[in-house]
A and B are shown apart, each in its own frame.
Chain A
């Protein structure tokens, strides 16, 4: 009786796992199938590396790939140290009042809608950048900064959760050996919590790559690959939002699927890379 129950449960869970795997795989297939007209006629490589000029018949999405990488990289570069620091303060370095306040603030920030950050960016940050650094103001820098603020709560919460769930016995042992707070954090908690930190990183990276609104509102959406922080850029997601209204049969509309494939591959690559690093670390005793 017990065994059969277990088999049923196992079957159900296996089915769920298989279903999600199949859905994820079929999304990729679906995008490839619908984007196929774009790749026909030997244009496979020019789609990824070419320029975007639909009136001249060029449907390359390189400017959007470059825009996405610039903005997401900048956001992660700003967000990672900020979130690590905040989670250190919340979990071990800060006093009880500071910890509580910071924690409450971070939790509050997760509830603020994206469009609010976008408005703050347009009315406060963009004029500041325009007056301070020149250029149009709507640029990689503006979108990167706001995006960093947007994704930092996700990262901080993940980081502090995983730091807090380190086995207290390990921390106590280090304390008994005479390790101070910073040493316990750096040499015990941080290595032990690496898996959780990696998950937080991937999740935040996924949000940075996938966020549409911030880049759409703040990055300027010009269709040229940016060459600096003060240049406007268009991300893959913003491009999808801007051309989704094009005629369904047009190659312009098909470029949406190329963008989708690119985003899919980026996220997959990031996940695989981080998981690989994590496994390498596990191997080392």
Chain B
């Protein structure tokens, strides 16, 4: 009886080892012998990828701790520049003066689109760029004007430190004015929650964040999806950057290299972004 039990235990252990994610993952071997902490903060679009990478690494190497925080692109650049975190993510390219002041090294590991979204209950599924600008400026303020319900439009936007906002404002709104009535939400996740809960909402999120709870709106006839961003049809796109202060070293360097391995790039693709390699 005892023998059989031990047999079972051994075979269970072998199976467990074979099934474990640490077995056979070439990309993760680079972390062998590394220990310490990597602190990551900034862009909220990056978070799903950062979390998945961190989970895979920390499952196999118990001496490594990776923390992932949000805050927005501005926070990411500022905190890495001031040495508060090891990696500062941004959903926009850092400005030349930021690069110079903080001596930033940029790593662009994926491309992402920023799409307009509405609540699934909203019949309006298509807008022209001009209509979009009028909506965000507050000039069109009722859905009836666009073929929807007779209800005021609730415009949601992001705070000024958001890279998503920066790209959307530059490339979709063409830097036109923003209504003072617009509501502000602090992250991509909060934007999705807000639009998913408000039948009269309009907002914009990273294409990687889109799911069934919100409906992407065609902009000038192009639906923002992974495909249209990839083939260049959908123009409101940006790179996802991970920035370090100076050349990265040690564990931070290994982590950034991991993002560029086939496994890291696959995580980015799984989370709805376009890999760069």
Q: Which residues of A contact B (CB under 8 A)?
A: 51, 53-54, 122-123, 126-127, 130, 134-138, 216-217, 220-224, 232, 234, 241-248, 252
Contact = CB atoms under 8 A, between A and B. Distances in A.
A248 B198 contact: no
Interface stretch (B153-161, B220-228, B267-275): B153-161
| Most-contacted residue by chain A among B160, B180, B184, B185 (CB, 10 A) | B184
In which size bucket is the chain B interface?
20 to 34
Interface string B191-202: 001100110110
Given A130-B198, A136-B152, 10 more contacts: A127-B197, A130-B200, A220-B184, A221-B183, A221-B184, A221-B185, A223-B184, A245-B78, A246-B74, A246-B160
Given A136-B183, A138-B183, A234-B184, A242 B159 contact: yes
A247 B161 CA distance: 9
B181 interface: yes
B99 interface: no
A136 B154 contact: yes
A222 B155 CA distance: 10
Contacts of A51: 180
Nearest to A223: B180
A135 B160 contact: no
A216 B183 contact: no
A11 to B, nearest CB: 39
Interface string B58-87: 000000000000011111001000000000
Contacts of A123: 197
- Interchain residue pairs A-B with the least CB separation, the first 5: A245-B161, A245-B74, A221-B184, A220-B183, A245-B75
Contacts of B180: 51, 53, 222-224
DSSP class of A's interface residues: helix, strand, loop or mixed? loop
Given A122-B193, A242-B159, A248 B78 contact: yes
A221 B190 CA distance: 13
Contacts, number: 72
B197 A242 contact: no
A220 B72 CA distance: 18
B148 interface: no
20 contacts: A122-B197, A123-B197, A126-B198, A135-B152, A136-B152, A136-B154, A136-B183, A136-B198, A136-B200, A137-B154, A222-B180, A222-B181, A223-B180, A232-B183, A242-B186, A245-B73, A245-B78, A247-B98, A248-B78, A252-B160
Nearest to A126: B197
B22 interface: no
A54 B161 CA distance: 13
Nearest to B153: A136
B161 A243 contact: yes
Contact of B161 (A223, A246, A248): A246
A135 B75 CA distance: 32
Given A127-B197, A243-B160, A245-B71, A232 B186 contact: no
Contacts of A130: 198, 200
Contacts of B74: 245-247
Contacts of A137: 154, 198
Interface in B138-171: 152, 154, 159-161
Contacts of B159: 221, 242-243, 245
Nearest to A232: B183
Given A130-B198, A245-B161, A232 B75 contact: no
Nearest to A53: B180
A137 B199 CA distance: 11
Contacts of A54: 160
Interface in B219-268: none
Nearest to B161: A245
B182 interface: yes
Nearest to B72: A245
Nearest to A252: B160
Interface string B175-218: 00000111111100010011001101100000000000000000
A247 B185 CA distance: 19
Contacts of A135: 152
Contacts of B72: 245
Given A122-B193, A130-B198, A137-B198, A232 B160 contact: no
B179 to A, nearest CB: 9
Contact of A222 (B71, B183, B197): B183
Contacts of B78: 245, 247-248
Contacts of A224: 180-181
